[in-house]
């Protein structure tokens, strides 16, 4: 599952590279050429492989990527991220071609909240406003009143005012929102991210003891055992901005390890330490879904305009409303 590393931030690649026989330089040149020919834009999340982030026209967190998808003039969006992100781009751009390097790049949060079960669960909460984290399928979005991301969840729940709310599918982000928004009554769907779930409080405390001046910075998908020690909790882009501006020299970073690439570039004078999972032998802080995407697969996606992400029109129209509501509430 992993491949040899030659730099500290180089991450394992999951999945089989297509047998193209092209080296990395040839692939990158090919991707640039195809991008121009296709009038394509490459959008990438911070959890992608370094080389995909470096090739992208825009790298951002989930909200920024949705905003970039909403405003692009390109004919083709090549989305280096996971399925729900590309699906959101397609919902916003029904007339554009949206391709992904690997259609199987899923998400444990989205997979853990199937729309039929979610619909039945919602029947228990009539009259509640349904706030869904963007890490969910188009079908779940279509059952929601407003979408949020990790960077605007607290703001959106606060802005909804004193109405009963169900929050899905991440129970850790939901618990964080409860605290921050002073909304103890939020009803939470019990989903988790398989990556942020594995960070170990015991090993974090050991690291903190070894680096007494370090600040812990954490993504709100982490469980409370990590968040209670965090000096700052924010989305991926928020964590990078914080590492850049904080006077601290050392940071223990509790989120997916792909973030270290841009964080190191933005804050080159800082020492960045990846928060450890409980199992020392496991690369559990690497998202296996994100890591399915490779340079080769991106090249093929632009060459063949496959695989494409599509959303049935009735679902798209219903899912667009809560996404648009989020975008309107985020300006």
Q: Is 150 in the site for ligand 13P (CB under 6 A)?
A: yes
Asked whether position 62 contacts ligand 13P by CB under 6 A, the answer is yes
> Should residue 149 be labelled a site residue for ligand 13P when binding is judged by CB under 6 A?
yes
How far is 281 from 120, CA to CA, in rounded Å? 40
How far apart are alpha carbons 328 and 242 in whole angstroms? 25
149 contacts which partner out of ligand 13P, ligand SF4, none, CB within 5 to 8 A by kind?
ligand 13P
Q: Is 285 in the site for ligand 13P (CB under 6 A)?
A: no
Question: b vs e for 2-27, b when ≥16 Cβ sit within 10 Å of the residue's Cβ?
Answer: eeeeeeebebebbbeeeeeebeeeeb
192 binding ligand 13P? (CB under 6 A) = no
Among 87, 139, 215, 221, binds ligand 13P (CB under 6 A): 221
Indicate whether 296 belongs to the interface with ligand 13P (CB under 6 A): no
CB 296 within 8 A of CB 20: yes
Running DSSP on this structure, what letter comes out for residue 215? Answer: E
Residue 108 contact among ligand SF4, ligand 13P, none, beta carbon within 5 to 8 Å by kind: ligand SF4
Q: Taking the mean position of all CA atoms in its chain, how far away is CA 63?
A: 9
- Tell me the per-residue interface mask from 20 to 49 with ligand 13P, x by CB under 6 A, - otherwise: -------------------------x----
* CB closer to ligand 13P, 69 vs 300: 69
Would you say 47 or 176 has its CB closer to ligand SF4?
47
Quote the DSSP letter at residue 182: T
Contact between 326 and 152 (Cβ < 8 Å): yes
Helix, strand, coil in percent for the chain, rounding step 5? 45, 15, 40
Between the alpha carbon of residue 291 and those of residues 28, 229, 256, 313, 316, the distances in Å are 18, 28, 11, 30, 27
Q: Please, what is the minimum distance in Å from the beta carbon of residue 36 to ligand SF4?
A: 29
Residue 135 is given by DSSP the state S
Which residues ranging from 107 to 126 are in contact with ligand 13P (CB under 6 A)? 107
Residues between 48 and 87 that touch ligand SF4 (CB under 6 A)? 82
Instruction: State the residue for tokens 């901005």.
Output: 241
Residue 132, contacted partner among ligand SF4, ligand 13P, none, CB below 5-8 A by kind = none
Give the per-residue contact string, 238-277, with ligand SF4 (x = CB under 6 A; - = no): ------------------x---------------------
Interaction partner, residue 198 (ligand SF4, ligand 13P, none; CB < 5-8 Å by kind):
none
């Amino acid at each position: 599952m992993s491949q040899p590393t030659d730099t500290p931030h180089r991450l394992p690649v999951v999945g089989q590279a297509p047998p193209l026989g092209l080296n990395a330089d040839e692939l990158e040149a090919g991707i640039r050429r195809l991008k121009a020919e296709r009038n394509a834009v490459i959008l990438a999340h911070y959890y992608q492989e370094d080389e995909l982030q470096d090739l992208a026209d825009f790298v951002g967190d989930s909200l920024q990527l949705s905003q970039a998808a909403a405003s692009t003039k390109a004919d083709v969006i090549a989305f280096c991220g996971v399925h729900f992100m590309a699906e959101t781009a397609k919902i916003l751009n029904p007339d554009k071609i949206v391709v992904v390097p690997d259609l199987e790049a899923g998400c444990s949060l989205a997979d853990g909240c199937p729309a039929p079960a979610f619909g039945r669960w919602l029947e228990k909460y009539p009259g509640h406003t349904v706030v869904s984290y963007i890490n969910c399928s188009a079908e779940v979005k279509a059952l929601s009143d407003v979408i949020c991301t990790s960077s605007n969840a607290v703001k959106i729940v606060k802005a909804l005012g004193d109405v009963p709310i169900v929050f899905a599918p991440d129970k850790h982000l939901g618990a964080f929102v409860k605290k921050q928004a002073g909304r103890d009554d939020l009803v939470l769907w019990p989903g988790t991210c398989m990556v942020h779930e594995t960070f170990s409080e015991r090993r974090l405390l050991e690291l903190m003891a070894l680096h007494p001046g370090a600040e812990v910075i954490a993504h709100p998908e982490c469980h409370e055992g990590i968040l209670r020690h965090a000096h700052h909790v924010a989305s991926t882009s928020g964590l990078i901005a914080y590492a850049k501006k904080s006077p601290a020299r050392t940071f223990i970073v509790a989120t997916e390890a792909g973030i270290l690439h841009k964080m190191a570039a933005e804050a080159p004078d800082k020492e960045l330490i990846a928060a450890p999972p409980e199992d020392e032998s496991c690369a559990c802080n690497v998202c296996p879904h994100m890591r399915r995407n490779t340079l080769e697969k991106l090249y093929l996606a632009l060459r063949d305009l496959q695989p494409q992400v599509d959303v049935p029109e009735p679902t798209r129209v219903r899912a667009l409303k809560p996404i648009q509501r989020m975008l309107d509430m985020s300006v």
